[in-house]
A and B are shown apart, each in its own frame.
Chain A
Amino acid sequence: MSGKNGTHAGPAPTTYRVEVAGKLVFPDASGAAVAAQFQLLGLQAPTEIRVCPIYEITGKLSPRELELAAKELLSDPITQEYRIGDGAISPAFVVAPHWRVEVWLKPSVSDPHEASVRKGIADLGLPAPDKVRCGTVYKIVGRLPAAQIEKAAKKILSNPVIHRYVLAAP
């Protein structure tokens, strides 16, 4: 049986965050569908919602290797841009003042995407990560009060049974 504490050679694993954003020239259909749910729940209509994938990758990848994964696997060169950690901001990340709700599966829930991302990283010839997590960022543009965002986070954007969310004000 493989031990859970295999010996690691080389540098200590690093945790990277890769956020992906759709280029602004492409309307965000998923965001519009989410925005429609706000109204049905009796909330104020947001000006716009942009839905962005976010990944947390822990492993012995070098920053350059991680960059390759972000470019070749995690984002689409035509429709999307990516940002690693707090790295430089590209135009797709310039969105009007917005609430930011990050939604992640709880660690107790197995994420089917994780295995695919691992495979994708391996196919690029990169070292296998120790851990991959996939989440979603909702950028909600509009002057919605905090209580409404909180309600939307619980009733539309996440299910507290399997998700946890992090909220950031504009």
Chain B
Amino acid sequence: MPTQTLPLSSLELTRATVKELAELNRRYGWSLSADELSAVQAHFRSESREPTRAEVETIAQTWSEHCKHKTFTSAVRYSDGKKTIRFKNLLKETVFEATQKLKKPWCLSVFRDNAGVVAFDDEWAAAFKVETHNHPCAIEPYGGAATGVGGVIRDVLGVGVGAKPIFGTDVFCLGTPDYAGPLPDDVNHPRRTFSGVVGGVRDYGNRMGIPTVGGAIHFDDDFRFNPLVFCGTVGLMPRWAVEKRVMPGDLIVALGGRTGKDGLHGATFSSAALDDSSSPAAVQIGHAIAEKRVLDVLLRARDQKLYRSVTDCGAGGFSSAVGELAADCGAKVRLENAKLKAADLEAWEIWVSESQERMVLAVPPKNLKALEALCASEDVEWCVLGEFTNTGKLEVSFHGEPVVGLDMDFLHDGLPKKERVAVWSPVSRPSVKKSSGPTDAAKVREALHALIGHWNVCSRAWVIRQYDHEVQGGSVIKALQGTQADGPGDAAVVWPHAATGKLDDYRALAVAHGMNPAYGRIDPYAMAMNAADEALRNLVCVGADISRAAFLDNFCWGNPEDPKVLGGLVRAALGCKDASLAFHVPFISGKDSMYNQYKDAKGESHNIPGTLLISALAPVTDFRKAITMDFKAPNDLLYLLGWTSDELGGSLYAEWLGKPLEGRVPEVEPGSALESMRALSAAIGKGLVSACHDLSEGGLAVAAAEMAFSGELGCSIDLDEVNRSKEVDADEVALFSESPSRFLIEVPADKEKDFLKATRGQPLKKIGTTLANPVLRIISMDGSLLIEEGLDGLKSRWNNRMPAAMGAQFKNGRKP
């Protein structure tokens, strides 16, 4: 048996100097701040004893940025030169406050469990969680993404007493796959990162039988060192399963994978000799089938009501899972009961190992036999780790020897708070210079070609076709749409009959995203507003009910100790709050990832562009009325909803001009945007719209081209008809501005009257028609023909960019 020496007792943490504490912190990789170290020291001084290693590891895990969201829940003093705002708790006073004010009765569980939960219908509730797995994906993209997917699936299995995962979403921010600049030797090329993360999502999601139905990819070379990988899972649960509770006397049962050294964090290895067998990174690759077994058993046990509470083993392993479940009561754990991969683990290692595919349950003793039989029938391993108590203490032992004896109060509330400083200084930007005089048609065409094949526009089919996006048989509106099933859909719609068993009920769920770090470079507040607007636009386009939409936030930021970086974060959080209140859409869950920094080839440290992802989920009342974005018939009318302003800041066109930071970033007016969206939703619900696509990256030009080639029908658009502010006097602006809250809408002529009635009072203008002839025709504001371009050429630029760069010999598209 390995010796259970407690190395810290000899190190005498309670008597250590500040410097010695810092040295211990570094050596054991706790990542505690000086304040936190001294709080730990003070606690054990007051108990007149030395902590064990397992205790400090438990505290370090519980207080980690990952588990506690220290930055987001801290006090912040923010100033932007004009005003100063003091937050006692940034999260509570921004994102969470909006949710509280909106008080939606259909929000069943928000910001308190492993996922946010909203009502789906009278019987069922939907749970949604999006997690990031950035650092592991930087060093081992395949395993990092796979375990990211595995982790967020367990979040949904561990919400309430468990939800059945019904679909997944995946969003990446990556360097461009054809990046040709220098890279340090230990950094993965963006192409490798890309194919690795796609492979990880594919192999884990497909094996789990959870369709990956939607997502987004943003390419920007500032993510080449530090990619962002967001994995989302939506689950469905009976409404009775939303609440969980733990009763003293319940058994602590661990289910699923075994515990091993593979789950130990790199940092904790640093005390050991770094031989080849103990990789400093300890990245895991995940075991989807082990998790599928756990899923099969857990949901059956849930329906037999064999346990009262459940949570996943994520960061911190048993220490976090048991600590979380026992927070209001207490727990006694005997680590020798844990099932191990190999017998070479020390007690503290078993306690904090993050080995994958494990769940922890609170099981009333009378149900243990039934659970045992169920596990045996599905070949799932389990063990009783101990029991929940009413002592308010976390007591852990190993073969009778105490390993941890911590007060729950200290563990969960002992984290010292400090006020952080955040500053924001707006920079005035010159506006993007437009050519004066008649438009240079050749240049506009060149821009159109560049934008349609731009990394942030081009087809994602290479990715989507590797994901089994139709398993569970519920994908009724798919990510790829149109005559050849390859056009870029705005949102996916899933009919969850495999989960509900209700084959005569046509209620479904739509999911969409909004994210654009390019806007955030200019102003994170605008980035947040635009992300919310975009996510909702996408939902509207398929016919979802946005009055029941729910948001999730994911903030990925640099080093928050830098007041400027934190200033950006505060602005994004304020944007979330304002968007949430104005759109009447609550946030139901969220996650943040800080310290996304990297050193470039010269060794200089950089922060990633602060990035906010807003994911949105909304019910579709009757999916038989859902629509897609491809043009349906020639000679239909094309309406543009929304105002076009000179908003090229952060746009693809500005980037193409080589002036990415110039110009005004799109500004959302959520009040009028919401009205427009509601009117459009009503028109779609009445069957008056045959295709609808939102205007996003690349503006009107890209949206029109995509709708046209997806439906293999041409269109003619007159730019002079575009509803626009006075400043928009150039064709390029009307074509490429990324003003928010806009939609291009196809309306059959015989439905025009009813459509106009349904959308009365909205900023709506007829700008053209669809054509049988497969061309994109754009008429200049001066009445001359600006562009007439065959759709095939545009489509092949759009289609070929990604497969060519990824080395796919078999390209997507009908003609190989």
Contacts and interface: CB of A to CB of B under 8 A. Distances in A.
Interface of A: 1-4, 32-33, 36-37, 39-41, 105-112, 115-116, 155-156, 159, 161-162, 164
Interface stretch (B271-279, B456-464, B686-694, B756-764): B271-279
17 contacts: A4-B342, A32-B809, A33-B809, A40-B191, A106-B277, A108-B262, A108-B278, A109-B283, A109-B285, A110-B285, A111-B285, A156-B192, A159-B139, A159-B188, A161-B139, A162-B140, A162-B281
Interface string B139-151: 1101100000000
B290 A108 contact: no
Contact of A110 (B142, B260, B277, B336): B260
B140 A159 contact: yes
Interface in B768-816: 805, 807-809
B261 interface: yes
Contacts of A111: 285
A105 B142 CA distance: 13
Contacts of A3: 343
A161 B281 contact: yes
B681 to A, nearest CB: 44
Nearest to A156: B192
Interface in B237-291: 260-262, 276-279, 281-290
Given A1-B336, A4-B343, A110 B807 contact: no
Contacts of A161: 139-140, 279, 281, 283
A168 B637 CA distance: 66
B262 A110 contact: yes
Contact of B279 (A37, A108, A155): A108
A123 B171 CA distance: 40
B267 to A, nearest CB: 15
Given A32-B809, A110-B355, A162 B283 contact: yes
B189 interface: yes
Contacts of B282: 108
B807 A36 contact: yes
A168 B268 CA distance: 35
A105 B282 CA distance: 12
A23 B807 CA distance: 25
Contacts of B139: 159, 161
B341 interface: yes
A155 B287 CA distance: 24
Nearest to B280: A161
A155 B196 CA distance: 12
Contacts of B142: 159
A109 B191 contact: no
Interface residues of B, number: 37
A3 B341 CA distance: 12
Interface string B714-738: 0000000000000000000000000
Contacts of B336: 1
Given A1-B336, A33-B809, A161-B140, A155 B189 contact: yes
A113 B809 CA distance: 28
A110 B287 contact: yes
A122 to B, nearest CB: 12
Contact of A107 (B140, B277, B283, B337): B277
B286 A108 contact: no
Given A155-B189, A161-B140, A112 B288 contact: yes
A106 B284 contact: no
Contacts of A112: 285-290
Interface string B280-310: 0111111111100000000000000000000
Of the candidates A105, A106, A155, the one having the most CB atoms from chain B within 10 angstroms of its own CB is A106
Given A39-B807, A112-B285, A112-B288, 13 more contacts: A4-B343, A33-B808, A33-B809, A40-B191, A40-B805, A108-B262, A108-B277, A108-B279, A109-B283, A112-B289, A156-B192, A159-B142, A161-B279
Interface in B566-602: none
Nearest to B191: A40
A106 B262 CA distance: 10
Contacts of B284: 109-110
The 4 closest A-B pairs by CB, nearest first: A4-B343, A36-B807, A112-B287, A110-B262
B350 to A, nearest CB: 12
A3 B342 CA distance: 10
A66 B645 CA distance: 73
A115 B287 contact: yes
Nearest to B262: A110
Interface string B335-349: 011000111100000
Given A112-B288, A112-B289, A162 B809 contact: no
Contacts of B287: 110, 112, 115
B257 to A, nearest CB: 8
A40 B178 CA distance: 9
B279 A109 contact: yes
B363 to A, nearest CB: 21
Nearest to A3: B343
Contacts of B188: 159
Nearest to B806: A40
Contacts of A116: 289
Nearest to B258: A110
Nearest to B289: A112
A75 to B, nearest CB: 21
Contacts of A40: 191, 805, 807
A33 B262 contact: no
